[in-house]
């Protein structure tokens, strides 16, 4: 009997994980959760599990993470019930019951199940839980962990352009998340995939990464999504040296933006201040 195959996508926000997930569903026959309160079929399972277990988590920019233990538990119980997974019993579930719930989720969506939540990569406690889960069930489940990385200025620009994120705070999120990606690469047997390569080759190499043959070639990545920050003269974020050095480890170069730096700083501060004021007044 073939074992269930579970693919975990680890990435930052705005790194292309939604496109990769859709590609795996359409071209490789993966299933994803059908019932979740979050966008793009994201579960936030491990960050909520870390909250339930009282594990350390740092605040993410413009996010509810970390959840309170009570809110995380209520959310996980609703999620498990909606997806016909094992229920979390008791007022304070154990790590074992949380693992049992996630294992039943994989069984529910077998033979191939893909999960992606960009929130998981930022906090090490989430990654520690994933590592322990994989270690415990590696003989029963085939795991594939994909580390999806994208040029930091593409990620920062997307957050700024779509949601008016604070560029400095979102850059820090990219840095910490992708530093974690390298730190956990060996422990989680992570296969690093650059979003730019996915788009350029339309995922032609993914059968080698997954060890699976595609079932169709219907999905096409959008080339228009690449390096939009280069053509937007209104964008002028300058990254810190540590971010540039980390990006270079992934093979990235060219970190110059077009906007005048002083003009950009004034614009960035005023834009973010306006957004935060609106959020405060809601």
- The per-residue DSSP string of 136-191 comes to HHTTTSEEEEEEEE--HHHHHHHHHHHH---HHHHHHHHHHHHHHHHHTTTTTTEE
Give domain status of residue 193, yes or no: yes
Give domain status of residue 174, yes or no: yes
Q: What is the pLDDT of residue 280?
A: 52
At 27, which CATH number? 3.40.50
What whole-number percentage of the chain has pLDDT above 70?
91
Number of domain units in the chain: 1
Residue 59 pLDDT level (bands cut at 50, 70, 90):
very high
Q: What is the pLDDT of residue 14?
A: 95
Residue 39 pLDDT level (bands cut at 50, 70, 90):
confident
The single residue listed with the structure tokens 């609703």 is 78
The single residue listed with the structure tokens 């996010």 is 63
**Residue 29 pLDDT greater than 90, yes or no:** yes
Q: What is the pLDDT of residue 271?
A: 64
Lowest mean pLDDT among 33-47, 96-110, 190-204: 33-47
Q: What is the mean pLDDT of residues 73-80?
A: 95
Across all residues in the chain, what is the average pLDDT? 92
Q: What is the mean pLDDT of residues 195-199?
A: 97
Q: What is the mean pLDDT of residues 29-36?
A: 92
Q: What is the pLDDT of residue 224?
A: 83
Instruction: Tell me how far apart the alpha carbons of residues 247 and 152 are, in angstroms, rounded to a whole number.
Output: 7
Q: What is the pLDDT of residue 257?
A: 80
Q: What is the pLDDT of residue 15?
A: 96
Q: What is the mean pLDDT of residues 109-130?
A: 97
Residue 225 pLDDT level (bands cut at 50, 70, 90):
confident
Give domain status of residue 258, yes or no: no
Give domain status of residue 78, yes or no: yes
Give domain status of residue 228, yes or no: no
Q: What is the pLDDT of residue 35?
A: 86
Instruction: Tell me how far apart the alpha carbons of residues 107 and 105 are, in angstroms, rounded to a whole number.
Output: 5
Q: Which residues contact 116 (CB under 8 A, 6 or more apart)?
A: 8, 9, 10, 11, 17, 18, 20, 21, 40, 41, 42
Question: What's the pTM?
Answer: 0.92
Give domain status of residue 105, yes or no: yes
Give domain status of residue 22, yes or no: yes
Q: What is the mean pLDDT of residues 255-282?
A: 62
Answer with the residue of higher pLDDT: 71 or 259: 71
Give domain status of residue 147, yes or no: yes
Whole domain around residue 81: which residue ranges?
A: 5-152+169-218
Q: What is the pLDDT of residue 40?
A: 82
């Amino acid at each position: 009997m073939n074992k269930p195959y579970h693919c975990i996508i680890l990435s930052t926000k705005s790194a292309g994980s939604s496109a990769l997930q859709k590609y795996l569903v359409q071209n490789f026959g993966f299933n994803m959760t059908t019932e979740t309160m979050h966008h793009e079929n994201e579960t936030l399972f491990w960050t909520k599990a870390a909250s339930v277990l009282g594990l350390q988590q740092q605040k993410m920019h413009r996010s509810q993470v970390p959840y309170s233990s009570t809110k995380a538990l209520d959310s996980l119980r609703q999620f498990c019930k909606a997806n016909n997974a094992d229920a979390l019993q008791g007022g304070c579930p154990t790590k074992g019951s949380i693992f049992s719930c996630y294992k039943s989720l994989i069984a529910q969506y077998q033979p191939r199940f893909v999960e992606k939540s960009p929130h998981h990569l930022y906090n090490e406690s989430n990654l520690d839980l994933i590592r322990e889960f994989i270690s415990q069930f590696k003989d029963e489940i085939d795991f594939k962990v994909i580390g999806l990385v994208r040029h930091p200025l593409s990620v920062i620009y997307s957050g700024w352009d779509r949601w008016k994120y604070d560029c400095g705070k979102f850059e820090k999120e990219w840095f910490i998340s992708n530093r974690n990606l390298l730190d956990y690469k060996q422990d989680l047997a992570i296969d690093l995939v650059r979003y730019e390569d996915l788009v350029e080759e339309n995922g032609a190499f993914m059968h080698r990464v997954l060890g699976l043959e595609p079932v169709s070639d219907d999905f096409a990545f959008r080339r228009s999504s690449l390096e939009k920050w280069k053509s937007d003269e209104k964008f002028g974020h300058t990254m810190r040296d540590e971010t540039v050095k980390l990006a270079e480890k992934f093979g990235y170069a060219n970190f110059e933006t077009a906007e005048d730096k002083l003009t950009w700083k004034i614009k960035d501060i005023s834009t973010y201040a306006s957004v935060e004021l609106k959020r405060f007044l809601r």
